[in-house]
Amino acid sequence: MAIRHILVSAVAALLLSLSAPSVSLAISEDANSLATSSYSLNQAQEIASAFRSVAQKVLPATVKIIVKRESGELSGSNDAKLPFSEYLPNIPDKDLIEGVGSGFIVDPNGLIVTNNHVVVKSEIGKIITVEMNDGRQFIAQKIVKDEKADVALIRIESDEPLPFLSFADSDAVEIGDWAIAIGNPFMLGSSVSVGIISATERYVSNDSKVFLQTDAAVNPGNSGGPLVNLNGEVVGVNTAIASVSGGYQGVGFAIPANTAKWAYTQLRDKGKVERAFLGAAISPLDYNETKRLKIPPQTGLRIDAPYKDTPAAKAGLRANDVLLSIDDRPIQSPELFRAFIERADVNREFTLKILRNNSDAPIDVKIRFEIKPENYVGIPVTEKMVKGGAHHVDKEWGLMLIPSTPESVERLGASGLQGLVVLNVIPGGVAYRAGIRNGMLITKLNSREIASLDDYLAVKNTADPELGVEVETVQKGQTNKFRLKLKKQTNATSEVKESEIPDAPQTEDSKVQNENNANEEQPSDENKNQPQEQPGEPIDA
């Protein structure tokens, strides 16, 4: 028995020794797994702690903005219900509410930044109420706004300093950075959603606004609210979404903080936004052109036509000059270049590096920008057809037109036709928003052939203001039709004004829309399928 016991003990010891490595490995793997799990949990808790910290800092300075009718004012027949209003029975006077958006305080004395489209209905008979996260309510005392930047400034009065937010440098924002959107979606009160910066230079509208793109959830009611970083600093102002449903589908757009801060500062100090300008039609270069010029792809802009009495003309810029950089900053797109120029200091000189006459040796040109006059329409200095007063400026629609010649229609790809050449379009004007662009040939108005300026004025001055005018154009062999509204008292040389755009039904097409409320105006049916600005097409700067 003793021998048997010894043998059994020996075998057991051998088996234990043989299995020891695997047992120790298993123990080691379990320990590593536990350590990894603990590390991941700590990371998640740190991220959650950062989000909580941001929410605690930003929520008190984020406000709800409510646009109401006065109780005696009649509701229009086209008024739409607020989203989810049937589920929100306790909102006082909800039937009087015409719009809801967001905003954020930028000064402890009661200055609030929001979108222009949130408060655009703040006309006679409208009341703007600002509600803070703690329930306090204020009536807006003053509102100043800028349609082009889609930025508005609201002033409220408070007996004590208010919590406020600071702007970050949006030029330092990179794709993949955390992005936290805060606002009041669907009137549900302050909400926080988290995502990342999906793109930093996104162009999504006819007037070539430059946006940050984010996948942080934004919905109707988020417009005007802050998009912040992990420090609780504002990197953008939530403005629009791309959606086929009208709600969040993963693509949101925010005005960059640098643009919003620039517009806000001018609204605060001047009551309006002044923009510098170059004074030229410009267009991007295609890949083959950059290769021929031996410059990096997607860089450089071509001067199509400098305009008379502008900074471009005074600096000596010529048609076909290629702009490479400004103060050693590479020029990459018309939109970014124009955004840079709009904010340029008009009190100092800049250095443009350009290529001229197909040379590969850049030269420097000194230029001093100027404030762009209101309703400015440029006259190209190189346009030989503009002479003897032959051109016509239509300030109501924002067009400069000249009679066509056999040479000009051939150049426009419209040989055999006649009409009026669109020499320039005011960005943001009635014609521009409808889709009319430089280089189009207007051949018909209301189906009547147009051979002269007299024909153009005769049709326009006798058209029914309620129906507007159908404008038929040809460009590069393609025919398009646009319908433009008229003032009740038609005046071809009157000031440019906002066109009256009727509400349009939702479609299955993907669209970019402001999210402030269900009554947001949409493009008219006549123009919603018109082509938008294409790459390579000249735009004004």
Reference 211, options 506, 539, 512; nearest CA is 512
- Coil, strand or helix: which one is 127? strand
Catalytic residues: 117, 150, 223
Reference 504, options 530, 488, 522; nearest CA is 522
Measured distance CA(539)–CA(386) in Å, rounded: 19
Measured distance CA(299)–CA(289) in Å, rounded: 10
| Four-point Cα dihedral 306, 378, 276, 118, nearest 10 | -140
Measured distance CA(539)–CA(425) in Å, rounded: 9
Question: 């992990």: which residue's tokens?
Answer: 230
| Four-point Cα dihedral 146, 151, 156, 159, nearest 10 | -130
DSSP letters, 307-351, are BTTSHHHHTT--TT-EEEEETTEEP--HHHHHHHHHT--TTS-EE
Please, which residues have CB within 8 angstroms of residue 469's CB and are 6 or more apart in sequence?
445, 446, 459, 460, 463, 483, 484, 486
Amino acid of residue 89: P
Beta strands 350-355 and 137-139 are unpaired
